[in-house]
Amino acid sequence: MKINIIVASEKLESFYKDAIQEYNKRLSSYCKIKLFQCKNTKEAEKKIPKNSYVIQICTSSTLISSEFLATKLNSFAVSGVSNIAIIFNFPYSSVDETISISPLKMCDGLLLTIIYEQIYRAFRIINNQAYHK
């Protein structure tokens, strides 16, 4: 499974980059995950791979749990969906689903770190490995 995280945001503090790099390392045994930081909406839209299932992160959408995300990722794998694009910070008209991981507004670096952590947690749940709860 390939997961592309695409955000219209140029700068991340080094401690967020370090955390994301750690989750990249941990996730490498479960999926191929890549972060695209783009300067603007137009550049971000170009990074969305064709034939991807596009999930937009939005604070005002349906709040999901770690278990729900695990179920969702597992259903993608079972049904043959191999490319997922997770986007935020820019409007995009062709999203397949809009979700929220928190109703709180937060900086891009923190949100990215939480997204990575939740994806990692989801794969641990899918594989019945200790991590959550």
41: in domain: yes
Domain count, the chain: 1
Average confidence score pLDDT of the chain? 94
Indicate the range of 27-31, 105-109, 121-125, 128-132 predicted with least confidence.
128-132
User: Range of 69's domain?
Assistant: 2-126
17: in domain: yes
Q: Which residues pair with 84 in a beta bridge?
A: 3, 53
Over pLDDT 70: what percentage of the chain? 98
Q: In this predicted structure, what is the pLDDT of residue 90?
A: 84
78: in domain: yes
CA torsion, ordered 39, 102, 31, 88, to nearest 10 deg: -20
* pTM (whole model) above 0.85: yes
Q: In this predicted structure, what is the pLDDT of residue 10?
A: 79
104: in domain: yes
Over pLDDT 90: what percentage of the chain? 87
Q: In this predicted structure, what is the pLDDT of residue 132?
A: 57
Whether the pLDDT of residue 131 is over 90: the answer is: no
- Predicted confidence (pLDDT) per residue in 34-44, tens digit: 999 999 999 99
Q: Which residues pair with 88 in a beta bridge?
A: 7
Q: What single DSSP character describes residue 90?
A: S
* Sequence-ordered strand ranges (E) for the chain: 2-8, 32-38, 53-63, 83-88, 97-100
Which DSSP string corresponds to 29-61? Answer: TT-EEEEEEESSHHHHHHTS-TTPEEEEEEEEE
58: in domain: yes
Most confident among 4-13, 16-25, 101-110 (mean pLDDT): 16-25
CA proximity to 12, closest of 110, 106, 102, 118? 110
Q: In this predicted structure, what is the pLDDT of residue 108?
A: 93
Helix (H, G, I), strand (E, B) or coil at 117: helix
Domain of 14, CATH number, reads 3.40.1280.10
131: in domain: no
112: in domain: yes
132: in domain: no
